Amino acid sequence: MGLSLYIRNNLKNKFFQIIILILIVSLVRNPAQGIESARNGLNLWFNILLPTLLPFFILSELFIASGLVSYFGRLLGPIMKPVFGISGEGAFPLIMSFVSGYPVGAKLSSRLRSLKLISRAEGDRLVTLASTSGPLYILGAVSIGMLSINYLNGLFLIPHYLGAITVGLIFSLLIRDKSTNGKIKQPPSLVLPEAKNKSLPIIIADSVKDGINSILLIGGFVIIYNVIIDILLNSPVFKAVIVLLSKTLKQDPRLIEGIFAGFIELTTGCSKIAALDIELIYRILAINFILGWGGLSIISQAISFISQTDINIKLYLISKFLHAIIASLYTYILYILHYKDIIIPSSIGGKIRQGVFSFKYWLENIYFSSKMAMLICIFFIILSLLTYNISLAKIKK
């Protein structure tokens, strides 16, 4: 057993080393391409991800470090436990993921588990549920920015979030532990948990530091994967594989290339598929599949947080692939039931908007993101108090 494990790990290391060597050789042969790819990745991170995600990261760290997540999580237990088999604390990563997008849900789930605010089983279930793209990205970047349409919002949002909820329900049934049940025996305590006896300035400083560390880590992943995907797309071997798959599957090679690119990096794949001259519904199906999967770039970001805990990484990977399939299935069902007569038959590819990388756009992004993060926290507080009052009323009866 020990020998087989050693051989398996050794093979993995050798494979990883070979991949690194190939990338180094490719960069040495064409350094200009590598520099351009890295620059594009840096632009994407600084102009889009930094102002969009940093306020969420800092505010969520403040919420956790101050003890508010544990406090209001107790109040939300009567909702989360019976439905998803997760304690009330899990509502916070779920809400933040649904609004802010990748990889906030995985980061917050891992953070709660590292602080032992949720059990390992709850952490396993929570990362399968709280791992979604954000509505700002889906509607702003993909629907309007890439496809140039604004009348099919439901065909993007409903399958994506309904798919995540379905995956969460599936895994809540498969790995439900004994401690999870929907019975309410007594009202949750209203005593605010201590924030580890830290002063307010220290809590704020630590939250800002943790938020900045997280966004810097994400920036590294974005830059690396942008370089990798450009190397692959320009590789003769990759092009030969695409041609072979297109002949085998009898599909447009550009569609396969777009899906493959999206399998690695979300934004690149979506932009390539959106620009194709194929029917709109096929482009939407492929894009919703990629949005559900998230891309190896985002999955690597999530795993960088999950790997710091004992949450099951394999389960997370399975859930993302399942999310992609279910979201595509829901997209087709919704198309048949409601959107078939609404979608305008079109074979004209979308155009990605130019000129979005500006200082004014950056300030608008960080302002809107900060406002949204504060609104989410207020919503989380109100929802917790309402749930508490309802559960208290049930107990009094």
For residue 5, what pLDDT is reported?
54
Do you find a cis peptide bond into 253, omega within 30 degrees of 0?
A: no
The three-state DSSP-derived secondary structure of the chain is CHHHHHHHHHHHHHHHHHHHHHHHHHHHHCHHHHHHHHHHHHHHHHHHHHHHHHHHHHHHHHHHHCCHHHHHHHHHHHHHHHHHCCCHHHHHHHHHHHHHCCCHHHHHHHHHHHCCCCCHHHHHHHHHHCCCCCHHHHHHHHHHHHCCCCCCHHHHHHHHHHHHHHHHHHHHHHCCCCCCCCCCCCCCCCCCCCCCCCCHHHHHHHHHHHHHHHHHHHHHHHHHHHHHHHHHHCCHHHHHHHHHHHHHHCCCHHHHHHHHHHHHCHHHHHHHHHCCCCCHHHHHHHHHHHHHHCHHHHHHHHHHHHCCCCCCHHHHHHHHHHHHHHHHHHHHHHHHHHHCCCCCCCCCCCCCCCCCCCHHHHHHHHHHHHHHHHHHHHHHHHHHHHHHHHHHHHHHC
- What are the pLDDT digits (tens) for 58-86? 887 787 777 777 677 777 777 787 878 88
Q: How confident is the model at residue 345 (pLDDT cuts 50, 70, 90)?
A: low
Residues 86 and 262: their CA atoms lie apart, in Å, by 31
Kindly tell me if the per-residue pLDDT of 281 is higher than 60: yes
Range picked from 95-104, 191-200, 271-280, 284-293 for highest mean pLDDT: 284-293
Q: For all residues of the chain together, what is the average pLDDT? A: 79
Q: Quote the pTM value.
A: 0.77
pLDDT in the model for residue 326: 97
What pLDDT does 177 receive?
63
Q: What is the pLDDT of residue 161?
A: 93
Residue 350 pLDDT exceeds 60:
no
Res 29 pLDDT > 50: yes
Check residues 299 and 384 and name the one with the higher pLDDT. Answer: 299
Q: For residue 362, report the phi and psi dihedrals to the nearest 5 degrees.
A: -65, -45
| Out of 79-93, 171-185, 242-256, 274-288, least confident range | 171-185
C-alpha torsion sign, points 267, 353, 155, 370:
positive
pLDDT per residue as tens digits for the range 209-222: 888 888 888 888 88
pLDDT digits (tens, 9 = 90+) for 122-174: 899 999 999 998 887 787 678 776 777 777 888 999 999 999 999 999 988 88
Residue 166 confidence (pLDDT): 94
Quote the pLDDT of residue 368: 75
Nearest CA-CA partner of 290 in 271, 313, 316: 271
Please give the angle made by the CA atoms of 284, 287 and 291, to the nearest 5 degrees.
Answer: 135
Of 6-10, 88-92, 227-231, 389-393, minimum mean pLDDT range: 6-10
More confident residue, 356 or 341: 341
Average pLDDT (332-342) is: 87
Q: Is the distance from CB of 87 to CB of 126 less than 8 angstroms?
A: no
- Provide the CA 117 distance to its chain's centre, in angstroms: 21
CA dihedral sign of residues 175, 179, 180, 181:
positive
Higher pLDDT, 8 or 190: 8
pLDDT above 60 (res 10):
yes
Determine the pLDDT at residue 187. Answer: 43
The reported pLDDT for the residue numbered 328 is 96
| Cα dihedral 302→297→285→279 (10° resolution) | 160
